[in-house]
Amino acid sequence: MESTEARRSLIERLEREAERAPGRYRLKVALLAALGFLVLGGAVLLAFGLSIGLVLLLLAVSPILLLKLAKLIWIPIAFGWMLLRSLWVKFAPPEGYRLAPGEAPRLRAEVERLRVATGAPKLDGIIIDADLNAAAASVPRALGLFGHRHYLLLGLPLMQMLDCDQFASVIAHEFGHFGGGHGRFGGWIYHVRSSWYRLLGALQARRSWANRLFVGFFDWYAPYFNAYSFVLARAQEYEADAAAARVVGNRAAGQALVRVNIGSARLDQDFWPGVQRATRSQPAPPALLYRDMGEHLRQPGEEDAARLQRALSRTPDFDDTHPTLSQRLAALGVDAGDASPLRPSFAEEFLGELLPELEQRFSEQWRDNVQAAWEQNYQQNARDEERLAQLEGMAERSAEETIEHARLSEALRPGTDALALYRGALERAPEDAFVHFRLGALLIDKLDATGVAHMERAMALDPDCTATALDHLGWFYRQTGDGAGQDRVSARWRRLNAQQLQSQQARNEVTAHDAFAAHGLDAAAVEAVRAALARIGGIGSAWLVRKRIPGDASGPPHFVMLVYWRGMVASQQKKLQAIVDALELPGSFMVFVGENRWRRLERRLRKAAGAPVYRR
């Protein structure tokens, strides 16, 4: 699809068609999905058929010729197998705390009541996780040929935030995705899309010549398929809302939608920033974060009314399959009203003794993940406070000190006018990438278009910030409805992803075209390499070089090690893995064994190394 505007126009046309003739629209989606299977299946049949045909032809000509050209026959077989594996997408059940049989009986009873009322299929499990969310997950058995396993995923913070009726509407909404037949059809559509992306990734990773055969088709197919399935997914959200309204009533369903929008904004804008600020004053993370989160979500917030108005004024986004809050409330026939939850919360009412256990479990998991970083941030904050005090006491500052003062003031002095500080820093250091980036980010947050030029300049001065800068620019263009800007960002993302893929491929292989240089490690690092290789044993010599990665000069270094065995080695693969596990190098690296087919490459590598890094 050529542009964001073209995609928007197609989706709007398809939405009108789906409303006027839903059966015809769904048939088109099914046919478009089948086209993907037809291309994949045809390619598999062609690959294996070509191999069989070659075997029969060579047998007819000369059995001896068949033996000589055996490798040629295996090429299409290997390609067909790769395609076949791409179709076998494994779907795992959702992650989280899975209720054991008999556990939380009141919750189970309520879920079963709502399941029966919505006509949803029987569940294979109820899973609780730590997100402000809920989901219906259908996991296909053998690509859906033998049916599906159905799971209900419930977020603990959502159960803590909503009252009983509100959360019952959430469960009924998710069951609505199972009902009406669209759950299975949607799962099949998801499988087709996943299969295509997996296939493309496999082809790109292997640098297969087949890439040229499929990428062109995929570039055409994927945008159209995504647009068609987008309309289906959005229609399913309305259907699921209607299912919830039939079971618990329109008012409760509308209140739940309002509370979810407000709660999500409060977590992003209040709770998590508050946790981040706590790293400056508390030496350890809080013990019961998810209990604190539940209490925060239950209390009314000063900005809730403003957040609700922003949510109600949001325009439809063609990157999000969920309709806007205004659209969903209008479809339910209710207004926002007062959505304050009543006591008790759904979690208090239906989880019982499991509630504090889950709060502690999820809190401990989170604390284990952030403990080290929290302690580092706390210690760094003490150093930053001391340094900022020094900078504030200076009568004059250098350009570097002016930038540092702006950065630390923004981080440590809430309410400071960071824009003014960075503008002052820009006068002292007009070509500093960090200053341009922060100016651009602050202005873009205010929807000030002058921030775009600063962000562009930051990327030009420091290509390493490109990914983060594109995130900011993409958000700005979406908020301002600039389709042309979104298209430019999308094109740059494609180029960046292509460069990253090329870099990754270069780090995963050694070819005759590679350029090598001396490893450049200091004496201590070299001694560590020698000691590691000596502990492994069985290595006669090893040569270490640094490989130049095209288009990734600023990326982490990549090393290549050539090893020669000393005596017989029972398993080269195990020995190579032992080397990989033992080495610690400042970047990525790979190890390969000297063989006759590598002689020319080995001579070039040894010449670049100058001397072996290890010799027994």
Question: In this predicted structure, what is the pLDDT of residue 79?
Answer: 66
Region 245-263 average pLDDT: 94
Coil, strand or helix: which one is 3? coil
Q: Which helix (H) or strand (E) holds 128?
A: strand 125-129
**CA-CA-CA-CA torsion sign (62, 66, 69, 74):** positive
Listed range (87-96, 220-229, 424-433) with the worst mean pLDDT: 87-96
- Number of C-beta neighbours around residue 390 at 10 A: 12
Coil, strand or helix: which one is 150? strand
Question: In this predicted structure, what is the pLDDT of residue 553?
Answer: 72
Coil, strand or helix: which one is 97? strand
- Number of C-beta neighbours around residue 142 at 10 A: 8
| DSSP type of residue 345 | B
Q: Taking 60 as the threshold, does the pLDDT of residue 311 lie above it?
A: yes
Q: Taking 90 as the threshold, does the pLDDT of residue 10 lie above it?
A: no
**CA-CA-CA-CA torsion sign (375, 378, 384, 386):** negative
Beta bridge partners of 488: none
Question: In this predicted structure, what is the pLDDT of residue 126?
Answer: 96
Nearest of 261, 310, 320 to residue 447 by alpha carbon = 310
Question: In this predicted structure, what is the pLDDT of residue 499?
Answer: 84
Give the predicted TM-score (pTM) of the model. Answer: 0.76
Nearest of 174, 178, 134, 125 to residue 347 by alpha carbon = 134
Question: In this predicted structure, what is the pLDDT of residue 399?
Answer: 95
Residue 305 vs residue 215, higher pLDDT = 305
pLDDT bracket for residue 181 (50, 70, 90): very low
The owner of tokens 């369903």 is 253
d(C-alpha 354, C-alpha 153), whole Å: 16
Q: Domain 426-506 is of which CATH architecture?
A: Alpha Horseshoe (1.25)
Contact between 225 and 192 under an 8 Å Cβ cutoff? The reply is yes
The single-letter code of the amino acid at 436 is: H
Listed range (12-21, 82-91, 297-306, 534-543) with the worst mean pLDDT: 82-91
Question: In this predicted structure, what is the pLDDT of residue 207?
Answer: 52
Listed range (46-60, 169-183, 387-401) with the worst mean pLDDT: 46-60
Contact between 237 and 275 under an 8 Å Cβ cutoff? The reply is no
At 286-296, the pLDDT tens digits run 999 999 999 99
Beta bridge partners of 230: none
d(C-alpha 582, C-alpha 561), whole Å: 13
Q: Which helix (H) or strand (E) holds 153?
A: strand 148-155
Question: In this predicted structure, what is the pLDDT of residue 231?
Answer: 84
The owner of tokens 């900005």 is 303
The owner of tokens 């979810």 is 260
Region 152-173 average pLDDT: 95
Listed range (316-330, 414-428, 530-544) with the worst mean pLDDT: 316-330
Beta bridge partners of 543: 562
Tell me how far the alpha carbon of residue 261 is from its chain's centroid: 22
The single-letter code of the amino acid at 114 is: L
pLDDT bracket for residue 11 (50, 70, 90): confident
Question: In this predicted structure, what is the pLDDT of residue 114?
Answer: 95
Q: Which two tokens stand for residue 222?
A: 């994927």
Q: Taking 70 as the threshold, does the pLDDT of residue 60 lie above it?
A: no
**CA-CA-CA-CA torsion sign (152, 153, 159, 165):** negative
Non-local CB neighbours of 210 within 8 Å, separated by 6+ positions: 79, 203
At 442-501, the pLDDT tens digits run 999 999 999 999 999 999 999 989 999 999 999 999 888 888 899 999 899 988 988 887
At 314-350, the pLDDT tens digits run 887 777 778 899 999 999 999 987 666 667 899 999 9
Residue 89 vs residue 548, higher pLDDT = 548
Q: Where are the beta strands (DSSP E) in 191-345?
A: none
Question: In this predicted structure, what is the pLDDT of residue 254?
Answer: 94
| DSSP type of residue 398 | -
Nearest of 122, 123, 132, 119 to residue 170 by alpha carbon = 132
Q: Taking 60 as the threshold, does the pLDDT of residue 211 lie above it?
A: no
Using a pLDDT cut of 70, give the percent of the chain over it: 84
Question: In this predicted structure, what is the pLDDT of residue 213?
Answer: 62
Instruction: Classify the phi-psi angles of 592: left when phi > 0, otherwise alpha if psi is within -120 to 50, otherwise beta.
Output: beta
Nearest of 481, 441, 482, 478 to residue 459 by alpha carbon = 441
Non-local CB neighbours of 296 within 8 Å, separated by 6+ positions: 266, 270, 271
Q: Taking 50 as the threshold, does the pLDDT of residue 603 lie above it?
A: yes
d(C-alpha 397, C-alpha 387), whole Å: 13
Nearest of 126, 128, 148, 152 to residue 138 by alpha carbon = 148
Q: What 3 state SS string does 162-189 have?
A: CEHHHHHHHHHHHHHHHHHHHHHHHHHH
At 114-136, the pLDDT tens digits run 999 998 889 999 999 999 999 88
d(C-alpha 534, C-alpha 173), whole Å: 62
- Residue 138 Cα distances to 113, 151, 188, 236, 483, angstroms: 20, 6, 10, 15, 35
Region 73-83 average pLDDT: 66
Q: Taking 90 as the threshold, does the pLDDT of residue 217 lie above it?
A: no
Q: Taking 70 as the threshold, does the pLDDT of residue 546 lie above it?
A: yes
Domain ranges of the chain: 1-37+85-384, 426-506, 516-615
pLDDT bracket for residue 564 (50, 70, 90): very high
The torsion of the CA quartet 365, 367, 368, 373, rounded to 10 degrees, works out to: 140
Non-local CB neighbours of 597 within 8 Å, separated by 6+ positions: none
Q: Taking 90 as the threshold, does the pLDDT of residue 5 lie above it?
A: no
The owner of tokens 């890094």 is 613
**CA-CA-CA-CA torsion sign (176, 180, 184, 189):** negative
pLDDT bracket for residue 4 (50, 70, 90): confident
Nearest of 85, 92, 81, 93 to residue 195 by alpha carbon = 85
Non-local CB neighbours of 506 within 8 Å, separated by 6+ positions: 514, 547, 549, 550, 552, 558
**b/e map 287-308, b = 16+ CB within 10 Å:** ebbbbbbbebbbeebeebeebb
Q: Which two tokens stand for residue 159?
A: 């159960």
Q: Which two tokens stand for residue 437?
A: 């980036």
Region 136-164 average pLDDT: 80
Question: In this predicted structure, what is the pLDDT of residue 178?
Answer: 78
d(C-alpha 234, C-alpha 230), whole Å: 6
- Number of C-beta neighbours around residue 441 at 10 A: 20
pLDDT bracket for residue 524 (50, 70, 90): very high
Q: Which two tokens stand for residue 452?
A: 């775009």
What CATH code is assigned to 516-615?
A: 3.30.460
Average predicted confidence (pLDDT) for the chain:
85
